[in-house]
Amino acid sequence: MTKAMRGWGGYELSRTLSVSMRDREVVIDRVCARCGCEYEWGVHIAFFAARVGLTDSQITSLTFGSPTDACWTDGRDRALIAMVDALHDDHDVTDELWHWLAEHFDRRQLLDLTMLAGWYHAISYTARAARVELEPGAPRFSDYQAISASP
């Protein structure tokens, strides 16, 4: 299976993907959190969160919050989170949300983003169903749940 997945997965994590690394990680982190896939979420937080400038409050929000949380000051980030939530909850994006996304992304990027979300849904389902063990030293949801509970 990993051999068959290598081409698409390689594209999703490559520089040829039409969106920035930050955009990619916002989508991946939110998808993995919404799917409850602590393994894949933890790997991405460990390897990419600091590189793309995600703050602790943003990581907490991606894991437990919403696109309206105060930590999201960029409409681009808010639109990405709303997109992932809509795809996760409704399996679709409303016309209104699509237009909001189109203010920030071109058509190719929009298609890449929806496929990226779908790809990480599949990864999350497989990792959870296969009971993939958490990586030693990788962040845990509970690390950020404690932050969200802080005053």
Residue 12 lies in a domain: no
Residue pair 128/38 in contact (Cβ under 8 Å)? The answer is: no
d(CA 57, CA 3): 36
Q: State the total domains in the chain.
A: 1
Residue 45 lies in a domain: yes
Residue 118 lies in a domain: yes
Residue pair 97/83 in contact (Cβ under 8 Å)? The answer is: yes
Residue 149 lies in a domain: no
Over 60: is that where the pLDDT of 151 sits? no
pLDDT digits (tens, 9 = 90+) for 79-108: 999 999 999 999 999 999 999 999 999 999
The CATH code of the domain that includes 138 is 1.20.1290.10
* pLDDT band for position 34 (cuts 50, 70, 90): very high
pLDDT of 1 reads 63
For residue 37, give the amino acid letter.
Answer: C
d(CA 94, CA 124): 24
Directed axis angle between helix 75-90 and helix 56-64, to 10°? Answer: 20
d(CA 74, CA 78): 7
Residue 61: closest CA among 38, 33, 23: 33
Over 70: is that where the pLDDT of 48 sits? yes
Tokens of 23: 């955009």
Over 90: is that where the pLDDT of 58 sits? yes
> What is the reported pTM?
0.90
Q: What are phi and psi of 128, to 5 degrees?
A: -70, -50
Q: What is the DSSP letter of 45?
A: I
pLDDT digits (tens, 9 = 90+) for 110-134: 999 999 999 999 999 999 999 999 9
Which is more confident, 149 or 123? 123
